[in-house]
Amino acid sequence: MKKTASRKKSEDNQHSKLKRPSVEELNQELNRRNNRKRYMTALKGTIYSLIVVAAISLVLVSTVICVMRVYGTSMEPTLSQKQILIGLRSGSYKQGDIIAFYNNNNVLLKRVIATAGDTVNIDSEGNVYVNDLLLEEPYLTEKSYGICDITFPVTVGEGQVFVLGDNRATALDSRASVIGNVSTENIICRVFLRIWPFSEWFIL
């Protein structure tokens, strides 16, 4: 009986030594748990938003937007090596547009000079005429007859465009029979923005 009484007294002493949390400590623990809950909710929201943005970006890239890098010098001085461009997939193209298109499994960048029904002529000095009107080309640094093995004048057929590179002396474009008039079915997009390098950011 004495041992039992002694053990009970010892347990009572241990319980009496337990410290009850204060109201302030309880509030701190409650705030900690609430903050953790809010953090997890915000984290889940952020992850969900990133997934949605990534999905939308993939859809845009595959159906509306195209991104490409410049290789070669045929579009200098407008476009230069390693610049990164943004293009818009479109069903219609007009004179002056810069387009990307497929040619023998290569992607080329050129400027639209004439569209379906137009007649193009280029003289020995490199002056370009569309429907007998001299084309003003402020984007050129010099004119040139360039690499040409076709006979002018040339009439652009239905569903086609006539394209030239801005670097007329060296560009391989519709003046050469290996390219000729470009079918609109082979056009990837119309380039409208140069985004890299950032210092050369420009709307085309």
* Domain 66-198 in this protein, CATH class: mainly beta
Q: What is the mean pLDDT of residues 166-191?
A: 94
Calpha distance 9→126 (Å, rounded)? 111
Calpha distance 96→86 (Å, rounded)? 17
Q: What is the mean pLDDT of residues 72-99?
A: 91
More confident residue, 36 or 124: 124
Q: Is the peptide bond before 153 cis (omega within 30 degrees of 0)?
A: yes
Give, in order, the Cα–Cα distances in Å from 15 to each of 2, 3, 10, 163. Answer: 20, 18, 9, 92
Give, in order, the Cα–Cα distances in Å from 175 to each of 11, 14, 116. Answer: 102, 99, 16
pLDDT for 77: 93
pLDDT band at 37 (very low <50, low <70, confident <90, very high): confident
Q: Is the pLDDT of residue 55 over 50?
A: no
pTM, entire model = 0.69
More confident residue, 7 or 165: 165
pLDDT for 8: 52
Calpha distance 3→8 (Å, rounded)? 9
pLDDT for 22: 74
pLDDT for 196: 87
Written as one string, the DSSP assignment of 80-110 is: -TT-EEEEE--S---TT-EEEEEETTEEEEE
Q: What percent of the chain has pLDDT over 70?
A: 75
| Each residue's pLDDT tens digit, 61-83 | 555 688 889 999 999 999 999 99
pLDDT band at 41 (very low <50, low <70, confident <90, very high): confident
pLDDT for 107: 92
Q: What is the mean pLDDT of the chain?
A: 82
pLDDT for 7: 55
